[in-house]
Amino acid sequence: MIKRTLGSSRLEVSAIGLGCMGLSHAYGPAVSQQDGIALIRTAVDLGITFFDTAQVYGPFRNEELVGKALAPVREQVVIATKFGFSFDGSSGTGLDSRPEYIKTTVEDSLRRLGVESIDLLYQHRVDPDVPMEDVAGAVKELIAAGKVKHFGVSEAGVDAIRRAHAVQPVTALQSEYSLWWREPEAEILPTLAELGIGFVPFSPLGKGFLTGTIDSTTSFSDSDLRNTLPRFTEEARVANQALVDLLATVAARKGATTAQVALAWLLAQHTCPSPGTTKVHRLQENSGAVDIELAPEDLEEITAAADRVDVQGERYPAHMQRWINR
C-alpha cells in the first residue's frame, strides 16, 4: 500500500484508509465484535494504516471495537476519531462542541480506544452555537497536553476551515467527495491546497452505489440509513445508473471493477479516501485500487462523462441538512 502525507503536516497514512462506521452503525445490523476485529486486522495485513471512527458511531461501540482490534499494532497505525455530538438530549440540534464538553468526551474516547493520544481528532460537524476559534483553541490545548496529535474538521465550509486553521493548524478535512458528489471542487479543494490541508473523502463509493452492486430492485434492511436518503429512492437509482455504467466501461478496459476505478479517480485528485465495508472481499477489492493506473486521458474521459450525468436526489433528508450546512 502506498503512503501519503496529509497536506503539509507530517502525518503519513496509507493512500486508502478504512472507514469503520459501517461495522457498528448506519448500514444495517452491527457485525459481531469478532468479525469486526478480524476485518480490521485483515486491513492491516493489506497495508492499510489509516482507520476512521467516531464517538457517535454506535454510539461508542465503534471506538471500542477499533481500539481492541488495533491494540496489537498501535504503533503501526493512525487512528482518527471525532467529537461534536451530544448524547444526553440536552442539545436541540444534536451538536455540542463546547470546549469543556470536547475535553470531557475526548477523555472518554482515549479510554475506549485504549490509547494515550489520538492521532487525528476531527470536529464531526460545525456547531453553529460555538465559535470555531473556541473549538480550535480547545483542541490546541489537548495537543499541548499530549492527548491529541493532529486537528481535523469534517463537512466544514471555507469560512470555518480558515477560522479554525488560524488558531490551530488543521491537518485534514473529512467531507463527502466522489464522482457523484463533487461539490467540494468549487471552493473546498482550492482552499485546502492554499492552506496545506489534506483531504479525506468519506463515502468515496457513494454509500455503495458506485460499486455497481446496487440497482433499482435492491432492498435495504430496516436499520439501513439509505432507506431515508433521497438519492437512494427507486427513481433516483434508475436515473443515477448512468454514472455506474460510465465507470463500468472504463473498468472493463482496465481489467478493474467499478469501485476500483471510482477510488482510483479520487486518488488521482491527491486525496486519501476511506471507504467502509463489512466484507473482506470488498476490503481487498478497495485496497487494490492503488494499483489501477488512470492516464491523464482516462481521467479527462471520466470527469467529462461524469459532468454530463445529472445525479438525482439530495444527499440527506431535510431533517439532517442542519448537520451539513456549510
Q: Per DSSP, what are the bridge partners of residue 28?
A: none
Phi-psi region of 208 (alpha: psi -120 to 50; beta: other; left: phi over 0): left
Is the distance from CB of 80 to CB of 121 less than 8 angstroms?
Answer: yes
101 belongs to the catalytic site? no
Under 8 Å between Cβ of 294 and 265: yes
For residues 120 and 285, give the distance between their C-alpha atoms in angstroms, rounded to a whole number: 26
Unique residue bearing C-alpha cell 479517480: 265
* Cis amide leading into 275 (omega within 30): no
Alpha helices in 46-167 (DSSP H): 61-70, 99-113, 132-144, 158-167
Q: Of residues 27, 57, 101, 122, which has the active-site annotation?
A: 57
| Contacts for 76 with CB less than 8 Å, ≥ 6 apart | 44, 49
Residue 255: count other Cβ atoms within 10 Å of its Cβ. Answer: 8
Find, among 184, 223, 226, 221, the residue nearest to 207 by Cα: 226
* Terminal alpha carbon distance of the chain: 33
Q: φ, ψ for residue 128 (rounded to 5)?
A: -65, -15
**Grid coordinates given for 194:** 492554499
Strand partners for 201: 175
DSSP, residue by residue, 150-164: EEEEES--HHHHHHH
Query: Of 14, 145, 25, 15, which Cα lies nearest the Cα of 82?
Result: 25
The catalytic residue positions are 57
